[in-house]
Amino acid sequence: MTVNLFSIKNKVVIVTGSSSGIGKVLCKRFKESGAIVHGISRKKSNKYYQYNQHSCDITNQDEVKAIIKNIYKLNKKLNILINNAGVTFSETSLEKAYLRFDQTIEVNLKAAYLLSIICAKYMKKSNSCSIINMGSIGGLQGFPNNPSYLASKGGLISLTRGLAIDLAKKNIRVNSISPGYIYTKMTKRSYDNLSTRKLRNNRTINGRWGKVDDLVGTAIFLSSKSSEYINGQNIVVDGGWVAKGL
């Protein structure tokens, strides 16, 4: 009998930030691969989704506890959490800078920690569990005009290592994926600027912006049996941006 090491069939997956961009595509691709997918997003929507879609403020501890409990009760197991939800604000004024910093850390870092520790309570009852945090090359390198985003993603990559150590005893692996420039609604403005797009194309070894589907294989890999000995790692998926240097 042949074993598919990359199979995620019938695994219960939670993806935050699921209503658009990276999260929406991950939900679709995981569903197509046989997973039982539960998406979580802040906004309520009447749109039809091919997967289970829930509305929740991931910075609200009571809401998060309730939604995770309900998902577990429905499926009797929980295998994978993908902390994908994120925000970014360009700095506009010193007066707004601190507020923006706090908001960014709240969603990008603290919410990921909250979801991880709550999901871990249910994951220990399942086998082969994985938490994936969506980092960024911004957590590895400096970029201008958005220190709150850089701090949140750098913190998330460090959180990944810490949680990997703490949750290993529960047989839960924790890794992160750090994308480069991926075309989504969030990055559309800079992509539509032709000079900016060309600059960033030239900055990557692959010579182009990434597509959301460029992240899917890595996410499925980290969710499957094939990555059982990978833990506490940050996998960079950036078309060679970081590797290229000057």
101 in Cβ contact with 151 (< 8 Å): yes
Calpha distance 180→206 (Å, rounded): 11
What length is written for the chain? Answer: 246
Which residues on neighbouring strands pair with residue 210, listed in sequence order?
182
3-class DSSP assignment, residue 2: coil
Which residues, at least 6 apart from 83, have a Cβ–Cβ distance to it below 8 Å? Answer: 16, 111, 112, 115, 116, 131, 132, 133, 134, 156
Q: How far is CA 215 from the centre of its chain?
A: 10
Distance of alpha carbon 110 from alpha carbon 101, whole angstroms: 12
The answer to whether the CB of 97 falls within 8 A of the CB of 80 is: no
Q: Is 196 helix (H, G, I), strand (E, B) or coil?
A: helix
Whether 229 is catalytic: no
Query: Catalytic: which of 51, 72, 122, 149?
Result: 149
Both tokens of residue 175? Answer: 């890794």
CA within 13 Å, CB half, 13: 33
Catalytic residues: 149
